[in-house]
Structure 1
Amino acid sequence: MALNPPTPTDGTGDPGRSLVRPFPEVGPLMRVAYRELGILANGSEQQIRALGDPARLPRPWDPATCRHPDLRAEVWAWLEAVVEWVNHEHVWDAAAVIPPCWPHHPHLVRELAVLADQRRRAGAALTSDLLEDWHRSTLPGFLDRMRARLRNHCDEGHQAWPAKGRHIRHTERACRAERAEAFTADVNTLDEQSPDAPHRAFSVVDLATGEIHDERTL
């Protein structure tokens, strides 16, 4: 007697949906960015010259390098889709869920961009080697670091940055001047071997105004 197969679900009990969801695709501007990076890696000398300064090419795995507003918007939309995909396809325990406030955590943004890029590369490979490594190492490593850093701070909604006070103290002008003085003193010990060398002093950038100060003026 033949048995009817069970109705497929999406893992939540809802019937009629695919058992697995495809990895989100990048947008058109991101495809251009990846194509240019591919040319930089494997193109002819003429093609590489046509790209201009390689350092200015956007790298989608590093969102800060994506300076065009439309490209940056595509990166955010892609990462949003990737987070939903990871939470649905790879997370079972609630403690491992990427929180909805992830855009407010710079460390998560940066790591998610790399996680997404490596999954994109692995999915496009002609063998399963990169994908196996992503499953075995990349994704678990990301989730472990996320849990260690967030702990339970955002379980019930986004919480203020616990280390904000210490960061503010670290960037205060007096603290920065003290560190710059220590750096200068260390460098000047090297000048003892060369008595004619001029005194060197480190510059300090005021993060609020962008002004550059000699550490001795602070």
Structure 2
Amino acid sequence: MAVPFPPPPREIRRAFEQLRQAEEAGLEPAGLRLLDRPWEPATCSAHVRTRLWPWLDDVAAWLNRSYAWQTAQAIPSCWPAHPHLVHELAVLACLRATAGDAAAPHALEEWHRYALPAFHARLAERLGIGCPPGRHTDWPARSWAAEYTSPQATTARHALFDRDLSVTPTGHRPQAAEGQ
């Protein structure tokens, strides 16, 4: 009836423990950013990511088997090609792992009540059924992102920023100081 949640690999559990210890010791946020944070894969060392990807893949399969009743709730097999899913799945998996380790059911109930439905809502909103089985759909907004980072668009935005900085809060341009 119920398939158990895939346990995080030893390296992921070690990262959780190191972060817990660092937080208890009062390590400043800047120092915490130096540690592997599995819910943010880009912060993890290659060694940790080597274990993180297969675990997230197992979690995606578990979520599909255990919670994806509607197609819009199913994580497509091409999830690693969707950066938003990589980010979302890592957070959801880490929340579920820590909630499952809690001494009382409250954290797991919150995961079911808030994290999972919010994940499914964002999944449906961002992907819908955009990647049916066996047919990956490339990023529809690729051209918009490319235009945003183009030299022309970047220059135009920076010109607007510069113009804003040259106007006082009252809407007047500051007078140049004598001798300038």
TM-score range, shorter chain: 0.7 to 0.9
- 1:155-194 residue pairs with structure 2 within 5 A? 155-156=132-133, 157-190=135-168, 192=173
Q: 1:120 is aligned with what amino acid?
A: A
The whole-number CA distance in structure 2 between the counterparts of 1:57 and 1:194 is 49
The whole-number CA distance in structure 2 between the counterparts of 1:62 and 1:97 is 22
Unaligned runs of 5+ in 1: 1-18, 197-218
Deviation at 1:190, TM superposition (A): 4.0
Matching residue of 2:21: 39
List structure 1 runs of 4+ shifted beyond 6 angstroms.
none
Structure 2 length as normaliser, TM-score?
Answer: 0.87
- 1:84-95 residue pairs with structure 2 within 5 A? 84-95=61-72
| Root-mean-square deviation over aligned CA pairs | 2.0
Number of residues of Structure 1 aligned to a counterpart in Structure 2:
172
Instruction: String of CA shifts for 1:31-84, please: whole Å, max 9, x gaps.
Output: 2211110111113x6xx59xx933211111000101x21211111111101101
The whole-number CA distance in structure 2 between the counterparts of 1:121 and 1:28 is 14
Q: Relative to total residues, which structure has the larger helix share, 1 or 2?
A: 2
- 1:73-88 residue pairs with structure 2 within 5 A? 73-88=50-65
Structure 1 length as normaliser, TM-score?
Answer: 0.73
Mean alpha-carbon deviation: is it higher for 114-123 or for 19-28?
A: 19-28
Identity %, equivalent residues? 37
The whole-number CA distance in structure 2 between the counterparts of 1:77 and 1:195 is 61
The whole-number CA distance in structure 2 between the counterparts of 1:122 and 1:28 is 17
Which structure has the bigger radius of gyration? 1
1:102 partnered with 2:106: no
Whether contact under 8 Å (2:72, 2:128) holds in the other structure is no
Deviation at 1:28, TM superposition (A): 2.1
